[in-house]
Structures are given as C-alpha cells and as structure tokens.
Amino acid sequence: MSNLIGHCGILINTCPKYKQFAINQCILIRRYAKDLKWPVYLASSELTQEEIKQLKLLHILIIAQTPEENLDFIESRIHALKILEKKHEFVLMLQDDFLLDRDIDYASLSETIIMMIYNRDIPCVRLMPCPRPTGPVFKEKWQLIDIEEECYFSFQAAIWSTSWVRRFFEAVIIKSEPIYKQYNEYTRNQFWLYKNPCEREIGCEVAKELLAGGHFVGYPRLGNWPNAVYLSPWPYRPTAIEKGVVQEFAKELLQREGLSYKSE
C-alpha cells in the first residue's frame, strides 16, 4: 500500500517543556505505524544534540524553530505549516501527547486522502471522534460535523488541507486580537491555551467564513464506552497531559512501552 506518498505529511508541534513526550510519540509512531509512508515532522526549539540524533535515527524530519518562533501555541503551528505547505497538500496534525496505543488503520487513512482529493470542499477529516460527529452520514464511511457542535474546530487528530488550516490560524489571530487586549494578565501563549479561541466561538466563526459552503467530516465513534476512542483510525486516548499533569493511563502506557518521561 503506497498510503499516497507525498500527499500528506504528519506534523507534531511541541515545546521544550514537553519535547520528551513528542519524542516518545515519534517512537510509538514507528512501532504502531511502521508501514505508513507519510513523512513525520517534529517542530520545536531547544532540541539537544542527543535528541536530534535520536530523531534522525527514527527518520523524523526536524523543523528547527527559534525560541521566538516556538514561543506561542498558534504562531509555532503557522510557522511549521508554511514549510509543509510547499511539500504536502494535506497534513495530519498531532499534539505532542497524542500517544499511539496500538496499530493504526492504514486503509482508512488512504481512503480519507482519496476522498479529500476528490472533494475539495472538505478541508478536514477528524480521525479522533472526541467529540463525536453528530451530523448525517457522508459517503458511507464518515459523518458530517454539525457547525453548531461544541469544538467545531478541534485540536484532536485530524487530516487537514495544509493551506486551509494555516489560513484558519492566521484568521483566528486577527479576529482574537481585540479580545486578547482585554486580558493584560496573559501572555499570548496563555491566552491561546486558557481562552482557547480556536475551539470556541471565534474559531467557529472563522471556520464558517473560510468554508464557504464546505464541511468538516469525521469518523464516527463506534461505541459509548471511554476506550471506544481506540477504535478510531489513529488510536490514542485524549489526552496524556491535562493542565500540566501527566495522566495515570499515560504513565502506564509509557511504562508498558519502556519509555521515559520527566514529571514536572
């Protein structure tokens, strides 16, 4: 299976505080997605020479960012997406703590890329049904994500049109500026994380404007129990770190896989 080499890249954005989690994720991708031909990129600043060597042995492509380029949650993604946009029409965007737990669904990933190539009005296919899509069935395999759903835009694992999601982040920055000025106690990065405009009203407004009649779709959730998330095409449990605290399931997973992490 070619996995449609060249059409899609995988992007993991991280920061110095959580770069060990991102490296662990790269190791797990090589274990549980070993036959996937999509290149994997890790964008971060302050990687040590030992970390760079480890990533190169894993055949991970490094997007080296300056501390300024890596400082803010959204701006660091825009920086990386501008680089990927020149190489890949689509991007699977992952956060650093989306730790793969088991083998991925290769067929579903390939089918998703083919569907997006032939349906240009679909700039996003959410792989992790959390929250689950509630709209009508779309082309038998997916469901439409209702525009009124909570987290219409979501940071959960999804395949995006690279140019579309870059433009989305840029538009959210512009639309959020008047609101950000009301929070003098926050740095820009704190504003993105604590107020999270992308997954709230501003993000929904921007998505509506950019979609212009298009749609987001997602994979259906195949069960109501918590671990049903592992039935998704990219099986992980959201999310390994919550408010800076490493969750117990993530500790157990890393121990099972023989991987280390630094507890803050």
Going from the C-alpha of 171 to that of each of 52, 75, 96, 164, 207, the distances in angstroms are 33, 12, 24, 11, 9
- pLDDT, tens only, 175-184: 999 999 999 8
pLDDT tens, 182-226? Answer: 998 999 889 998 899 999 999 999 999 999 889 999 999 998 888
Q: What's residue 244's pLDDT?
A: 84
Q: What is the pLDDT at residue 46?
A: 96
Q: Is the pLDDT of residue 262 over 90?
A: no
Both tokens of residue 254? Answer: 């890393």
The yes-or-no verdict on residue 3 having pLDDT over 70 is: no
78 pLDDT higher than 60:
yes
Q: What gap in Å lies between CA 59 and CA 47, rounded to an integer?
A: 16
Which residue, among 45, 37, 81, has the nearest Cα to 173 in the 3D structure?
81
pLDDT at residue 34 tops 60: yes
| Residue boundaries of the structural domains of the chain | 8-256
What is the Cα–Cα distance from 113 to 8, expressed in whole angstroms?
8
How large is the average pLDDT for residues 116-120?
Answer: 96
- Looking at residue 68, what is its pLDDT? 94
Is the pTM higher than 0.85?
yes
Cα–Cα distance for residue pair 100/253, rounded to 1 Å: 9
For residue 2, pLDDT over 60 is answered with: no
Q: Judge whether residue 4 has pLDDT over 90.
A: no
For 36-60, the pLDDT digits (tens) are 999 999 999 999 999 999 999 999 9
Beta bridge partners of 135: none
pLDDT digits 0-9 by tens, 144-179: 998 876 679 999 999 999 999 999 999 999 999 999
DSSP code at position 128: S
pLDDT of 76? 96
DSSP string, 14-53: --GGGHHHHHHHHHHHHHHSTT--S-EEEEES---HHHHH
Residue 264 has pLDDT above 70, yes or no: no
Architecture of domain 8-256: Alpha-Beta Complex (3.90)
Burial of 252 (0-12, 13-18, 19+ CB in 10 A): exposed
What pLDDT score was predicted for residue 147? 82
Residue 27: other Cβ atoms inside 10 A: 19
| Predicted pLDDT of residue 1 | 45
DSSP 210-256: HHTT--EEEPPP--SSGGGGGGSSS-B-S-SEETTEE-HHHHHHHHH
Mean pLDDT of the chain: 93
